[in-house]
Structure 1
Amino acid sequence: MSSSSPFRMQLVHLDLKGAPPKVLYLAEVFPLFHALGANGILIEYEDMFPYEGPLQLLKARHAYSPSEIKEILHLARLHELEVIPLVQTFGHMEFVLKHEKFSHLREVELFPNALNPHKEESLALVYYLGEGEMSKQWLQKEQNNMVKLCLTQMKAIASQVLIHHPNVKPIVWDDMLRGINEECLTESGIAQLVEPMIWDYIEDMDVHGKVLLMDKYRKCGFPKLWVASAFKGATGVNQSLTIISHHLKNNIQWLKVADSGPAEMLQGIVLTGWQRYDHFSVLCELLPVGIPSLAVCLQALKHGGYTDNVKNIVEKYLGMSNLEINSFMSESSGTFPGSDVFALITQISFHLRHSVDELLERNRYVTGWFSPYHRKRKMIHPVMIQHIHPDAISLLTRWNTVIQELQAALERIFYPDAVEEWLEENTHPTIRKLQQLLQDLDAAIAAQS
């Protein structure tokens, strides 16, 4: 790794709660991650882990098998990528609490994302911390407050980890820590148990504020810190294409933080790649779509910025003749693993809806002679059939071909449920509008015969 990088560790986050890749694809991208400057993987297994016994019902339909988990870990070691598992304990517990068997552990009965911290079966809290009846009663006691509730449970979880794995130091997202004053944090003793992960994914991040936060944690006794940026999955819940410039700016800001903060504390940076905002939300950018952004961000971190030379290095790794970071369109799709998915999704995202809307809403023959009024009454001038039908058939044939090509490319990387979800969300609604036009046209033709 380049000496210009202030980060000893550069980890790529794999969010498996949406569109988890097949192991064969991971075997293709792990070498690329390593070549681009990553030396670790943060794996959020969620329901893709092969749970057994009482937890078996948590497994997704296409969960990895034990042998596949071993293969993933082997591949990571082979390519010098340290693996850190991301285990949800303070948030995003939907994949557990959505099941009736575990619903009694909810903090708030209606919400399947928060565990009740007062039940013996639970050693975790989440967003609705303190809103359950048991928590409200606990908080009414004079010596109790939300900070104490948070720190007590965080210490309990960390202690359990350290009892069973004394050589493992838990890393915690710092959401709950950043608002606690220095005195409470210091007195709690939590600094001896965990390492905070300071995260922020926006492009105009407050560098000075982050430096002050790092200094606060230093004063509270935390010996090590982590930070988290993003390379995808942080600019829109249903985003299909990655805004590279946004993520590059975000990572550049983190470089500025690292240059100004206590360097001896900084363990590394995680480039998050969220696949869903939570267990119930839609998919955002698929991993292959985000790889150019990942390449740009990793190389910018490695070299201390993004220059023409770094751009050339990235293009060489991706097999792209000209990578455009300020727009979604590039002159070539590249030769990196999944580049066909990247190219086809770019094509569909830019042109599918636009081309169909062009026909349905701006074609003078459709809007003038086959409007919703005409379609409802199966009315059409016979001459207009020749102006509408060939174009509609040609457009449908063209897009069906592209979608079939994308489906085949997706099926090589992802499991059937992820392929079905992406296509149903991003192509089916528009294709159905085109199909409906043709059905209405056929009905109007039939009505005239």
Structure 2
Amino acid sequence: MSCATPFKMRFVHLDLKGAPPKVSYLSEVFPLFHALGANGLLIEYEDMFPYEGRLMLLRAKHAYSPSEVAEILRLAKLNELEVVPLVQTFGHMEVYYLGEGETSKQWLQQEQNSPAKLCLSHMQAVASHVLAQHPGTTPLVWDDMLRDIPQEQLKASGVPQLVEPVLWDYGADLDVHSKIFLMGKYQECGFQRLWAASAFKGATGASQALPPIEHHVRNHEQWLQVAVSGPVDTLQGIILTGWQRYDHFSVLCELLPVGIPSLAACLQSLVHGGFAEDVKLKVEHFLGVSSLEIMDTVSEGAGSFPGSDIHALVTQVSLHLRSSVDTLLERNRYVTGWFSPYHRRRKLIHPVMIQHIQPEALSLLSRWSNLVQQLEAALQLAFYPDTIEEWLEENVLPSMQRLQGLLQDLGEAAAPLPLLPPPSSCWDTGQNP
């Protein structure tokens, strides 16, 4: 393996608060992570951890069992992946609204108190507790709440002696100079060891289904520039984040198998100091793909990496399902001209036009139904039922329902009208005209 990378530690982030993979799937991808250049895992267990006692109510329906957690740790060790658990004690807990609660507002009214002081006091308390319970542990913290705190206040808080900040930026246009300046600020405050955090997926849209590989590769190339241009040996490593939800209330973004090509390109870029043509060839070899086109939203085609069937099928659905249904419903001249929403509501259609619409609609429904069945079967090997239900309901069901609705309306419009009795006359009833 090349020694071109300035990042000694390369952690892959597993966000389990959405679409948590089955342990059997993790057993397949951990060897690939190692082969691609990862030497650590940042595992965000969230509600997949087998909490007990009073915390048992936090468990997800399909939470890992204690034996499964032990198996994950065994598999990680087997593949030389150091495990760091991620527990969101402050991050992802509505931190941006710090100071807006009634108790906090009263505290902030006291002289010399501020939101920055409130933030630092909480971090100091949590970090001190962790270190008291586990003296050999080093707490890491996301740095976004630290960036704008004045240097002297940071230094006086005692926090720099307790934690190591993780400077995160997921942008393809990351400002290298501002990151180097921030690293200098943190060092002067007393933080001696810093970490970087990039992203291989889950950072370009809350409902993103396919990772834009070029964006993520560019993000890692920018971090490489930061590492080689900043203070020597300050950055201990980099965390390649792969967020699965933006928060607990958001939809799922890119599934882990779909993000594997992006992860491969990013890890190999870090290992070799960039994404040159020879690195691209190495990535293609690892993935078993004939060509990885990072300029496209995602590369279509088969591969041999774990979950490559999910990757291929999700790509088909994401790129073509909605557009194919839209084309039929909104641009087919027979549908728009002879079976518009006006006609559909009234179940009116010329019988000849049925033959121009129904066969194509049935063929489209059959093709997508077969593909979705394949996708559901592939997803069942890697994910739990609730994940499959959510992903299909968000990404497949709306288009399929529109297609099925068209066919249902066609069927009702084509049905023969019921024979009605002739209208009665006043003579038939003997009534006066």
What is the CA-CA distance between 1:448 and the residue it aligns to? Answer: 4.0
Look up the equivalent residue of 1:59 and give its one-letter code.
R
- Equivalent residue in structure 2 for 1:436, among 396, 405, 418: 405
| 2:218 matches 1:282 | no
Aligned partner of residue 264 in structure 1, secondary structure: coil
What is the CA–CA distance in structure 2 between the aligned matches of 1:270 and 1:183, rounded to whole Å?
28
- TM-score by length of structure 2 reads 0.95
Larger Rg: 2
What is the CA-CA distance between 1:263 and the residue it aligns to? Answer: 2.4
- Structure 1 equivalent of residue 387 of structure 2: 418
Look up the equivalent residue of 2:56 and give its one-letter code.
Q
- Structure 2 equivalent of residue 368 of structure 1: 337
- Structure 2 equivalent of residue 96 of structure 1: none
CA contact (8 A) 1:328 1:346 kept: no
What is the CA-CA distance between 1:429 and the residue it aligns to? Answer: 0.4
What is the CA–CA distance in structure 1 between the aligned matches of 2:18 and 2:72, rounded to whole Å?
17
| 2:116 matches 1:151 | no
- Structure 1 equivalent of residue 14 of structure 2: 14
What is the CA–CA distance in structure 2 between the aligned matches of 1:439 and 1:291, rounded to whole Å?
40
| 2:177 matches 1:208 | yes
What is the CA-CA distance between 1:329 and the residue it aligns to? Answer: 4.7
Q: Which moved more, 1:376-385 or 1:430-439?
A: 376-385
- Structure 1 equivalent of residue 275 of structure 2: 306
CA contact (8 A) 1:322 1:331 kept: no
What is the CA-CA distance between 1:143 and the residue it aligns to? Answer: 2.6
What is the CA–CA distance in structure 2 between the aligned matches of 1:2 and 1:184, rounded to whole Å?
41
- TM-score by length of structure 1 reads 0.92
What is the CA-CA distance between 1:332 and the residue it aligns to? Answer: 2.6
What is the CA–CA distance in structure 2 between the aligned matches of 1:359 and 1:222, rounded to whole Å?
60
| 2:109 matches 1:136 | no
CA contact (8 A) 1:378 1:447 kept: no
Task: Give deviations 1:188-247, integer Å, cap 9, x for gaps.
Answer: 121110000000001001100000000111111111000100000000010001100000
What is the CA-CA distance between 1:266 and the residue it aligns to? Answer: 1.2
- Structure 1 equivalent of residue 53 of structure 2: 53
Look up the equivalent residue of 2:187 and give its one-letter code.
R
- Structure 1 equivalent of residue 165 of structure 2: 196
- Structure 2 equivalent of residue 81 of structure 1: 81
CA contact (8 A) 2:44 2:87 kept: yes
Look up the equivalent residue of 1:57 and give its one-letter code.
L
- Structure 1 equivalent of residue 31 of structure 2: 31
CA contact (8 A) 2:349 2:413 kept: yes
| 2:240 matches 1:271 | yes
Look up the equivalent residue of 2:27 and give its one-letter code.
A
| 2:157 matches 1:174 | no
Gapped runs of 5+ residues in structure 1? 94-112, 114-125
- Structure 2 equivalent of residue 63 of structure 1: 63
- Equivalent residue in structure 2 for 1:337, among 303, 306, 311: 306
What is the CA–CA distance in structure 2 between the aligned matches of 1:184 and 1:368, rounded to whole Å?
69
- Structure 1 equivalent of residue 426 of structure 2: none
What is the CA–CA distance in structure 2 between the aligned matches of 1:363 and 1:448, rounded to whole Å?
27
What is the CA-CA distance between 1:316 and the residue it aligns to? Answer: 0.3
Identity across aligned pairs (percent)? Answer: 69
Task: Give deviations 1:149-171, integer Å, cap 9, x for gaps.
Answer: 11111110000000010000000
What is the CA–CA distance in structure 1 between the aligned matches of 2:236 and 2:117, rounded to whole Å?
27
CA contact (8 A) 2:213 2:298 kept: no
- Structure 1 equivalent of residue 324 of structure 2: 355
Task: Give deviations 1:318-370, integer Å, cap 9, x for gaps.
Answer: 00000010103535331100000100011111111111111111111111111
Aligned partner of residue 97 in structure 2, secondary structure: coil
- Structure 2 equivalent of residue 409 of structure 1: 378
Look up the equivalent residue of 1:372 and give its one-letter code.
P
Question: 4+ runs of 1 displaced by more than 4 Å?
Answer: none
- Equivalent residue in structure 1 for 2:214, among 234, 240, 245: 245
What is the CA–CA distance in structure 2 between the aligned matches of 1:294 and 1:348, rounded to whole Å?
21
Q: Which moved more, 1:429-438 or 1:327-336?
A: 327-336
What is the CA-CA distance between 1:253 and the residue it aligns to? Answer: 0.4
CA contact (8 A) 1:15 1:44 kept: yes
What is the CA–CA distance in structure 1 between the aligned matches of 2:23 and 2:114, rounded to whole Å?
46
Alignment of 1:93-108 (within 5 A): 93=93
Aligned partner of residue 41 in structure 1, secondary structure: strand
* C-alpha RMSD over aligned residues: 1.0
CA contact (8 A) 1:319 1:334 kept: yes
Task: Give deviations 1:24-69, integer Å, cap 9, x for gaps.
Answer: 0000000000000000000001100000000000000000000000
Gapped runs of 5+ residues in structure 2? 419-433
For the structure 1 residues 246 and 329, does the alpha-carbon distance in structure 2 shift closer, same or farther, using more than 3 Å as the test? closer
What is the CA-CA distance between 1:4 and the residue it aligns to? Answer: 0.8
Q: Which moved more, 1:48-57 or 1:360-369?
A: 360-369
CA contact (8 A) 2:212 2:298 kept: no
- Structure 1 equivalent of residue 42 of structure 2: 42
Aligned partner of residue 3 in structure 2, secondary structure: coil
Instruction: Report how many residues are paired.
Output: 418
For the structure 1 residues 331 and 63, does the alpha-carbon distance in structure 2 shift closer, same or farther, using more than 3 Å as the test? closer
